[in-house]
Amino acid sequence: MTGAVSIHAPAWGATCFFKINYTFLFCFNPRARVGRDHQKKGGKNHENQFQSTRPRGARLRISLTTAETNLNNPGYWEYQRAQNVIAGKQEAVNYLPLIYELDPEDRRDDEKTYIKANPSLDVIKPLWRLVEDRDRAKQNPIEEAGFYAYHLNIWSNAPTADISVEQWEPAITQYEKYKQYLTEEKLKTYTAFGAIDLSKVDDYSAYTIYFWVEPIKRFYARHRFYIPEGQLEKRFQRESEMLRLWIRDGYVTPTIDGGQNLTINYDVILADLLQDWETFQRLQGYAYDATYASNFLRQVAQAKTYRPVVMVPFSQTWSKIAPANKDWLDLVYKGHIIDPNPVMRWMVGNVKRKEDRNGNISFVKADYAQSNLRIDGVDTSVMALAMLLGRIGKQDKAPDEQIRTIETIDY
């Protein structure tokens, strides 16, 4: 694409010009116009500037994303929305999508088509380097999928994540089927166990409760995720607009620390934990990873509650975490977990399973090169489920052959 693009906001009388490699846009209610506009000033043409003052009240927001190697990704949902608007399947008056990608009939190994997904080809990166990267990536299936995603904008769900969309789908769809068993009053009657994963001060923290829903022989998960308010703009840029929706719908809580809001306020997490401890009287306790928990534990010990809060350290050694990971994964594959949380859906799509020669399983991010991938909710799910399985085995007798007793896993 060459030349300049004009986006006009007639309601405000402002026209903003930008060449394709510029990204400063502040227009309101834009309408695309074909061709090139010129503004005479002092006998010269002035491009790439505003013709009037900055509009009052609102500005144009730009979201940029490449493809990824899993479909449980906020960027993929944005991509689907853009496709639907372009195809006329969905109306969005104030939404102007632009997708650079190969055509469906194009072959991935035909470098003549690569300019379709790389409009700055041979300006920022030469074609020969792109071909060289492609040929090198072909030696490894994971690297090959990454090349097609990040350089040709081709979405895929393999071979990175080990829990596919189809395998996780029952966790989402079963909520509607069984929601009469999952009301607040019903949950108070079920045995439950919680877990927290306290992050570094500037990252996500996760808090999860698993309930054993005896009437339907299913486990139900409830999650809360936290992030410093001052980190939101950076996260919006890296994790797309879905984070805004998750905050709006209460799945992610921004915390305020009283300063620049760049660190997690653990008081917010503690308040939620104590409220649930009072509400769910069959909640047996909370498991935690001790890595960042020392200050938090002191706060818990000082809290005044009608019953002492039970905090259980959850060892991250192979002998403890490997069987817990396996139990959780088995129940996911068998469709015995109900978990409709959209943030968790994203995190599950980021999981890669690693297994040693003894069959021990660990979970890591599917692509460490993508540091914005998160799996915190998976970690808390594993811990909460492992502890709950043990409590069921002790108190209620194992409901089926999948349930391990606490003596077996020895947490």
Got the DSSP string for 150-208?
Answer: HHH------SS-SS-HHHHHHHHHHHHHHGGGSSHHHHTTS-EEEEEE---TTS-EEEE
Residue 142, token pair as written in the block = 């994971």
Sign of CA dihedral 388, 392, 394, 400: negative
pLDDT digits (tens, 9 = 90+) for 17-64: 333 343 433 333 444 444 444 444 444 444 444 344 444 555 677 777
Residue 70 has pLDDT above 50, yes or no: yes
Q: How confident is the model at residue 11 (pLDDT cuts 50, 70, 90)?
A: very low
Beta strands of 332-390 (E only): which ranges? 337-338, 351-355, 361-365
Measured CA angle at 157 (ends 153, 161), to 5 deg: 125
Residue 60 zone, left/alpha/beta (φ > 0; ψ -120 to 50; rest): beta
Q: Specify the pLDDT at position 220.
A: 98
State how far the Cα of 250 lies from the Cα of 277, in Å rounded to an integer.
20
Q: Specify the pLDDT at position 57.
A: 52
Give me the architecture of the 165-409 domain, per CATH. 2-Layer Sandwich (3.30)
- CB burial string 157-191: b at 16+ within 10 A, e below: beebbbbeeeebebbbebeeeeeebbeeeebeebb
Residue 190 has pLDDT above 90, yes or no: yes
Which sequence spans correspond to the domains of the chain?
1-62, 74-152, 165-409
Q: Which of 411, 389, 391 is nearest to 402 (CA)?
A: 389
- The radius of gyration of the chain from alpha carbons, rounded to an integer in Å, stands at 25
> Is the model more confident about 374 or about 409?
374
Q: Which of 66, 69, 65, 67 is nearest to 144 (CA)?
A: 69
Residue 271 has pLDDT above 60, yes or no: yes
CB atoms near residue 240 (< 10 Å) = 21
Which helix (H) or strand (E) segment holds residue 146: the answer is helix 141-152
pLDDT digits (tens, 9 = 90+) for 220-262: 999 999 988 877 776 665 555 577 888 888 999 988 776 666 6
Q: Which of 368, 364, 392 is nearest to 378 (CA)?
A: 364
